[in-house]
Amino acid sequence: MKIADLMKPHILELEAYPPGKPVEELERELGISGSIKLASNESPLGPSRRALEAAVQATEGLNRYPDGSSYYLREALASQLGVAPEALIFGTGSSELLEILAKCVLGPGDEAVFPWPSFAMYPIVTRGMGAKPVEVALDSDFRFDVASVLSAVTDRTRVVFLANPNNPTGTSIGQAEFDVLVDGLPERVILVHDEAYLDYVRRDDFPDTLAAIRRRPTVLSLRTFSKVYGLAGLRVGYAIGDPELVGYLERARHPFNVNSMAQAAALGALRDADHLARVRELTHRGLEKLERAFDELGLAWARSDANYVLVEVGDDAAGLYQRLLRRGVITRALGAFGLSSHLRVTVGLPEENDRFIEALRAELGR
Ligand SMILES: Cc1ncc(COP(=O)(O)O)c(C=O)c1O
């Protein structure tokens, strides 16, 4: 017997998601200490105190199953966003919501269209359902080409995934291009507007997804507490959509998918607007610093609306990635995304950004 023969054929084609290297693993491998991780687009400031206190308080009730409807989080977020509570669904990170959506709408013979390179989960959830991923290349400035996305849509297309701002490039599209996409797609195609990095956006004309949802019930916004709220370790994200569409997704989810500490922490985080503003400010200053340093080093970079930046470092980006590792700086090499001359660097604390810039300068000999 071969275990592989027990698997569905499309599962054999899957490749596991490549995570950023954990600091502990690097230090064990190289026998070093004091390394920094600028690899996974996490918030360097951590969660708000209010989120932490709420999470700790929730530990008292860990003998109980979580609230299966995330009632208090749902009510608070609905009122903050000005949407009906039924327009929201929560997940174990927004990644789980991508999976739930794929489970609901994709199967063999179906296609999911998305720009590429983009978030690695899109091909994983698509292939996982036996559907076909259709990758549309970004343009030469690493931006979505809305016309190419539209022309990739066929009768078999069930969903378009659009990470805006895009990961790993940080590039984004504004309202006008978004409207062309929304209006150009057949209504039967679900448009997932993945706004994981929404709170970092610097451009003024970022699309209003809630208005698009009101206009077209097959637009779904995906958001997360993993990034600006600093709760990646607790796994909580949500989608906003038409209540009927969201209702079908609700049927397909695990009843206790969001744990009690995650619900409590997310609610605490929502109530701390000052912390959010601090993270945003720190990130923007950090981005500006990295951009200036890349300019000084003569490196090309992509204008980012997220908390990371894509920088072109030359043919041997994988080698440079390794050499930076030996200096205790973890970035992200992007060969698996077809970007073999680039690194993606997450904005860290000011001293971490400085340390990365120094290491880069030393390695490039400039
Ligand atoms: C574009 C994009 N969408 C979604 C996510 C998923 O975030 P989470 O599952 O932590 O909510 C990420 C995480 O890196 C991302 O980059």
Residue in this structure with the two tokens 């490549």, named with its chain if needed: 18
Ligand 1 binding pocket includes 232 (Cβ within 6 Å): yes
Ligand 1 binding pocket includes 283 (Cβ within 6 Å): no
Q: DSSP of 207-262, one letter per residue?
A: --HHHHHHH-TTEEEEEESSSTT--GGG--EEEE--HHHHHHHHHTS-TT-S-HHH
User: Which residue, judged by its Cα, is nearest atom 3 of ligand 1?
Assistant: 196
Residue 257 has a pLDDT of 97
Ligand 1 binding pocket includes 94 (Cβ within 6 Å): yes
Fold of 49-270: Aspartate Aminotransferase; domain 2 (3.40.640)
Q: List Cβ neighbours of 17 (8 Å cut-off, separation of 6 or more).
A: 120, 121, 124
Residues 98, 340: Cα–Cα separation, whole Å: 27
User: Which residue, judged by its Cα, is nearest atom 7 of ligand 1?
Assistant: 94
Residues 243, 10: Cα–Cα separation, whole Å: 32
| Beta carbons of 200 and 283 less than 8 angstroms apart | yes
Mutating to test ligand 1, I would choose from 100, 119, 125 the residue with most ligand atoms within 8 A of its C-beta, which is 119
Q: What are phi and psi of 304, to 5 degrees?
A: -110, 140
pTM of the model: 0.96
| Strands 157-163 and 111-116, sheet pairing | parallel
Q: List Cβ neighbours of 316 (8 Å cut-off, separation of 6 or more).
A: none
Exposure string (b/e) for 294-318, b if CB count within 10 Å is 16 or more? beeeebebbbbbbbbbbbebeeebe
Angle between helices 260-270 and 71-81 (to 10 degrees): 30
Of 292, 285, 326, nearest in space to 311 by CA: 292
Residues 98, 104: Cα–Cα separation, whole Å: 10
Q: What angle do CA 365, 346, 206 make, to 5 degrees?
A: 125
Tens digit of each residue's pLDDT, the chain (366 residues)? 999 999 999 899 888 776 767 888 888 888 888 899 999 999 999 999 999 999 999 999 999 999 999 999 999 999 999 999 999 999 999 999 999 999 999 999 999 999 999 999 999 999 999 999 999 999 989 999 999 999 999 999 999 999 999 999 999 999 999 999 999 999 999 999 999 999 999 999 999 999 999 999 999 999 999 999 999 999 999 999 999 999 999 999 999 999 999 999 999 999 999 999 999 999 999 999 999 999 999 999 999 999 999 999 999 999 999 999 999 999 999 999 999 999 999 999 999 999 999 999 999 987
Mutating to test ligand 1, I would choose from 41, 90, 94, 200 the residue with most ligand atoms within 8 A of its C-beta, which is 94
Ligand 1 binding pocket includes 126 (Cβ within 6 Å): no
* CA 95–ligand 1 middle distance (angstroms): 6
Residue ranges per domain, the chain?
A: 3-46+274-364, 49-270
Q: What angle do CA 309, 313, 317 make, to 5 degrees?
A: 100
* CA 163–ligand 1 middle distance (angstroms): 9
Q: What angle do CA 349, 202, 345 make, to 5 degrees?
A: 40
* CA 361–ligand 1 middle distance (angstroms): 30
Mutating to test ligand 1, I would choose from 17, 89, 95, 259 the residue with most ligand atoms within 8 A of its C-beta, which is 95
Q: List Cβ neighbours of 30 (8 Å cut-off, separation of 6 or more).
A: 325, 326, 328
Encode pLDDT of 201-210 as tens digits.
Answer: 999 999 999 9
Q: 3-46+274-364 has which CATH code?
A: 3.90.1150.10
* CA 2–ligand 1 middle distance (angstroms): 35
Residues 220, 245: Cα–Cα separation, whole Å: 9
Ligand 1 binding pocket includes 226 (Cβ within 6 Å): yes
